[in-house]
Structures are given as structure tokens and as C-alpha cells.
Amino acid sequence: MREVDKTTFAAAHRDGAVVVDVREPFEYAAGHVPGAALMPLRQLPARAAELPRGVPVYVVCASGNRSLSAANFLAASGIDARSVAGGTGAWQRAGRPVVRGTRAAA
């Protein structure tokens, strides 16, 4: 399965997981998971080579829909990608911190 729950993701994040946010820049700027790199879904095919191989890559969006599509695409490209169920919304509802601003990685 290409999807993980927020608890599994939180543990991976705490351990320094690679996190990619596939939302649009304005969504990212409004609040993103600390350390997440911005890579909008439309740019993913051209930028997938930037992602590491051999380690899990956690993909997040607003609710989990775009990230699941992105994780499936990345998996087909040989990347161990996992979509975060519930996305940034679930992360925030769980009381987890977000970073605001437009930096590509926080």
C-alpha cells in the first residue's frame, strides 16, 4: 500500500524522513510540514530525479488525494514513495506544527 497514517508519518518525520509537498506554492506558503520540500504535482514528472532512491519518501498534500497520485507515479519510477493519509490538514488537526512562508524547504 502506498499510503501511511498520520501516526506512522509523525514517527518517520521525527526520525528525519524525506518529505515532499505536492501542493501549489500558495498552499505551501499558508502552512506546511516542517522540512517538507515543495514540488508541485504538475512539476513532479520533470523533478522526480531530484528525489533519493533507497529510502522512503513521504508525499503530502492538503488531504491525501494528490499525494496518493504522486506516490503511485513515483513508485512506478522506482522511488519508495508513501502518501500521507489526510495530508497537511490531518497533520494540523493532530496539533502538529506547520511552517508558514515560501521557502522551498523549511
Distance CA 4, CA 51 (A): 19
Distance CA 32, CA 23 (A): 9
Q: Which of 19, 51, 59, 61 is catalytic?
A: 61
38 labelled catalytic: no
Q: What is the DSSP string of 29-43?
A: HH-B-TTPEE--GGG
Distance CA 50, CA 65 (A): 22
Catalytic residue IDs: 61
